[in-house]
């Protein structure tokens, strides 16, 4: 069985192949719960940059697998980051001296991502300014109907939603193996949990 990290890598790699030209460059906040120096995370980061995307990496200082939702305040480190990727007694957070877009936070994945919430100056610097959209990846031409949302049974494509200038966040239920939109009752399950925070396009 593949790990969640492997599935995430497969999904991210497939998405990267769709957005591999500079004309489609995105601003990406990249994180995980396996640690900022984890080789798959770094390889994906290099691939994103090579494809013309603007990427900030912010991840835990060490392997925090299965604790990605942990949102504890970062605490000063007493020992080096994993694989000696940072020094001992180096504070609650830090970055790579030669690549300052690579950042570590001494906490779980949620805190690491939140530490870089202010990515867009005054425009998207508060959670209340973000708009969450329920979306699909691929065009709906030959696929079954989506779950009913916003008076329609076709969800907007995330590519177009992410081109909006109102701090969009895309939520898509996908099959990680084929990177296609899942149109069965799993969409409805996700919608039922997130309905209160979603916006109609």
Q: What is the pLDDT of residues 59-108, one digit of tens each?
A: 999 998 766 555 678 899 999 998 999 999 999 989 999 999 999 999 87
Query: Helix, strand, coil proportions of the chain in percent (round to 5)?
Result: 30, 20, 50
Asked whether the predicted pLDDT for residue 51 surpasses 60, the reply is yes
* Claim to verify: residue 134 and residue 105 sit in the same structural domain: no
Phi then psi dihedrals of residue 149, to 5 deg: -155, 135
Indicate the residue among 49, 80, 114 that finishes a domain. 114
Determine, yes or no, domain membership for 163: yes
* Claim to verify: residue 188 and residue 153 sit in the same structural domain: yes
Determine, yes or no, domain membership for 39: yes
Determine the average pLDDT of the residues in 150-164: 89
* Claim to verify: residue 82 and residue 141 sit in the same structural domain: no
Q: How far is C-alpha 197 from the geometric centre of its chain's CA atoms?
A: 18
Indicate the residue among 87, 114, 141 that finishes a domain. 114
Determine, yes or no, domain membership for 3: no
> Does residue 32 or residue 17 have the better pLDDT?
32
* Claim to verify: residue 58 and residue 99 sit in the same structural domain: yes
The pTM is what? 0.54
Determine, yes or no, domain membership for 31: yes
Asked whether the predicted pLDDT for residue 3 surpasses 70, the reply is no
Residue 147 is part of which domain span?
130-200
Band the pLDDT of 110: cuts 50, 70, 90: low
What is the predicted pLDDT for the residue at 111? 64
Phi then psi dihedrals of residue 182, to 5 deg: -90, 125
* Claim to verify: residue 41 and residue 94 sit in the same structural domain: yes
* Claim to verify: residue 135 and residue 109 sit in the same structural domain: no
Determine, yes or no, domain membership for 9: no
How many domains would you assign to the chain? Answer: 2
* Claim to verify: residue 176 and residue 107 sit in the same structural domain: no
* Claim to verify: residue 44 and residue 104 sit in the same structural domain: yes
Strands 168-172 and 131-135: parallel
CB 69 within 8 A of CB 76: no
Is residue 45 helix, strand or coil? helix
Asked whether the predicted pLDDT for residue 10 surpasses 60, the reply is no
Determine, yes or no, domain membership for 119: no
* Claim to verify: residue 89 and residue 151 sit in the same structural domain: no
Band the pLDDT of 4: cuts 50, 70, 90: very low
Determine, yes or no, domain membership for 14: no
Residues of the chain above pLDDT 70, percent: 75
CB 181 within 8 A of CB 14: no
The candidate with the shortest Cα–Cα distance to 147, out of 115, 189, 84, is 189
Return the exposure string of 118-147: e unless at least 16 CB atoms fall within 10 Å of the residue's CB, then b.
eeeeeebeeeeeebbbbbbbbebeeeeebb
Band the pLDDT of 142: cuts 50, 70, 90: confident
Band the pLDDT of 154: cuts 50, 70, 90: very high
* Claim to verify: residue 68 and residue 104 sit in the same structural domain: yes
Determine, yes or no, domain membership for 194: yes
Asked whether the predicted pLDDT for residue 197 surpasses 80, the reply is yes
């Amino acid at each position: 069985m593949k790990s969640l990290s492997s599935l995430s890598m497969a999904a991210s790699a497939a998405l990267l192949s769709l957005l591999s030209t500079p004309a489609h460059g995105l601003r990406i906040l990249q994180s995980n719960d396996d640690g900022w120096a984890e080789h798959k995370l770094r390889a994906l980061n290099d691939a994103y940059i090579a494809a013309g995307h603007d990427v900030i990496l912010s991840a835990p200082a060490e392997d925090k697998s299965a604790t990605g939702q942990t949102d504890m305040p970062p605490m000063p480190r007493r020992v080096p980051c994993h694989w000696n990727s940072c020094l001992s007694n180096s504070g609650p957070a830090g970055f790579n001296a030669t690549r300052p877009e690579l950042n570590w936070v001494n906490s779980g994945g949620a805190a690491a991502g939140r530490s870089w919430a202010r990515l867009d100056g005054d425009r998207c610097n508060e959670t209340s300014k973000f708009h969450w959209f329920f979306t699909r990846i691929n065009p709906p031409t030959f696929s079954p109907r989506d779950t009913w949302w916003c008076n329609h049974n076709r969800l907007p494509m995330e590519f177009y939603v992410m081109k909006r200038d109102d701090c969009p966040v895309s939520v898509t239920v996908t099959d990680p193996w084929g990177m296609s939109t899942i149109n069965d009752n799993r969409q409805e399950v996700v919608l039922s949990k997130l309905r209160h925070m979603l916006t109609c396009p």
